Structure 1
Amino acid sequence: MRSPDAYLPVETYLHIQDSAAQYVNDPYFGLHMGEFAQPGSWSILGYLMMNCKTLGEAFEKSGRYQRIIGNLITGRAELSLGKVRLVYFTPPHAPPMSRHCFESTFSSSVRLVRTLSGLPLNPLEVAFIYPEPASRTEYERIFNCPVCFGQRENAMTLDMRMGNLPVRMANPALLEHFEHYAQNFIAQMEQNDATTQAVTKIILARLDDESLSIKKVAREMTVSVRTLQKRLEAEGVVFSDLLRDIRQRLAKKYLRENYSVEQITYLLGFSEPSVFRKSFKKWFGVTPREYRDWATCG
């Protein structure tokens, strides 16, 4: 609380969010959380967007500098005739999360669009992968558009003409200042964990290699094992922990997405399904089947 701009571990953030929802007994906590969003809620990114010329430019800057406010949810834009569909998803490292996280992202995005433009703008459609809740009332009130559940992706569809609407408080001089700040901020972030990012990319590309090791990764990076260990250590990372963490997170992600145990065994570089099952039980205290059943019910 004393450092509002400090970063929290993803698990800590999700725990706080879910605990808050439980404490106030609000099943639509994420939606309501997003209703309070202001440009300042998104740190420097929000102020940068507030000084763009149009909403389209603001969205472009948001995509470019999203990492400033976190790496839990990312997105991509899909263009079609007169529409833009914004698809939101979690990266492979993301842990399981309740619906509050995506719903707060959607709600705050719509709130920000209305604040920046000064207009009562609405999406054309909002889609969630989650099952339909007990009531649609709050979704329809906040988004004021058709809301679909049980969909393949979390997505929000907008009228493409919305991108041409002016931002009401745009200031080119401030935009230049904030963008320069954002560029330096991103550069510092990338410098601080450059080795971990590079190693993670190699691990993800070679994860099906049963004998993947720090020696192989070091060879691909053309450095000695000792040098790689020191660089990771400077970033607070141990190779074996990073490899295990990536495998754990992907194992849970693939089980939630209904991959078979045999498929996951191959994708994560285990020698055979029985080895994967044994490792999963050691990691989480439940079998892959038990975890899948729990995740589906959740």
Structure 2
Amino acid sequence: MLVPSLARLPCSLRENDPDHCKALCSYVDCKVLCGQPVSGVRLPVGGLDYPIPTADTALLDHLMAHGDARLEKVPQEISSLSSRVMQLVKSRLPGHLPSGDEVAEELCMTRRTLTRHLAAEGTNYKSLAEAARSDMAKQMLLNESSIAQVAFLLDFGDQAAFSVAFKRWTGTTPAQFKRTNG
């Protein structure tokens, strides 16, 4: 059962299924907005401060201790945003190179926030995407993939565009790279 003053707050869903939204609306007794950019419930200031009459303090203490113990086991080193962006881009390659907007959305931030945080780390999305493509291209060329195949798999328009980019990255052409390292 919802707290009476919260029952009038709208819920928003990314899903655009009117039947599902209508069913959810009747289940949770509040207005449900379908096809929204994000899913969630907007609470008023202090909306989480409502007392719960059936609260069990012993259970709360137990859960807090359990949560703290679990957090202690989490690695303390938090990866930088640039390393998370690189991992995300590399996970999509070979294939479609995600745009900066797609990466920002996947990391639950705006493109502007992504750009600002990467700048604070001394880099930008384009440099990271190019580095990921370069690493993948070298790996694929060493594994005896053809230059045309690598160009296609790394989302280049054609082999010539790939060759120009590869030379910019490494100072050598893909063919020379294959000969000297293969």
Query: Normalized against structure 2, the TM-score is what?
Result: 0.53
Give the corresponding residue for 1:236: 122
Give the corresponding residue for 1:265: 151
> Quick one: which amino acid aligns to residue 150 of structure 2?
I
- C-alpha displacement of 1:198: 2.7
CA distance in 1 between counterparts of 2:79 and 2:147 reads: 36
Name the SS of the counterpart of 1:187 in structure 2.
Answer: coil
- When the two chains are superposed, the root-mean-square deviation of aligned CA atoms in Å is 2.4
The one of 219, 226, 246 equivalent to 2:112 is 226
The one of 72, 96, 108 equivalent to 1:209 is 96
Question: How many residues were matched structurally?
Answer: 111
CA distance in 1 between counterparts of 2:133 and 2:146 reads: 15
Q: Is the 8 A contact 1:215 1:225 kept in 2?
A: yes
CA distance in 2 between counterparts of 1:239 and 1:206 reads: 15
Give the corresponding residue for 2:76: 188
> Quick one: which amino acid aligns to residue 75 of structure 2?
A
Q: Is the 8 A contact 1:214 1:225 kept in 2?
A: yes
> Quick one: which amino acid aligns to residue 162 of structure 2?
F
CA distance in 2 between counterparts of 1:285 and 1:198 reads: 27
Relative contact order, CA 8 A, sep 6+: which one is greater? 1
Is it true that 1:252 corresponds to 2:138 in the alignment?
Answer: yes
Name the SS of the counterpart of 2:89 in structure 1.
Answer: helix
Aligned in 2, Cα 1:236/1:284: closer, same or farther, shift over 3 Å?
A: same
CA distance in 2 between counterparts of 1:238 and 1:259 reads: 29
Query: Normalized against structure 1, the TM-score is what?
Result: 0.34
Give the corresponding residue for 1:294: 180
- C-alpha displacement of 1:270: 0.7
- Between structures 1 and 2, the one with greater strand share: 1
Give the corresponding residue for 1:276: 162
Per-residue CA distance 1:158-181 (angstroms, 9 max, x = gap)? xxxxxxxxxxxxxxxxxxxxxxxx
The one of 64, 78, 85 equivalent to 1:199 is 85
CA distance in 2 between counterparts of 1:199 and 1:187 reads: 19
> Quick one: which amino acid aligns to residue 252 of structure 1?
K
Per-residue CA distance 1:93-145 (angstroms, 9 max, x = gap)? xxxxxxxxxxxxxxxxxxxxxxxxxxxxxxxxxxxxxxxxxxxxxxxxxxxxx
Consecutive unaligned residues in structure 1, runs of 5 or more? 1-182
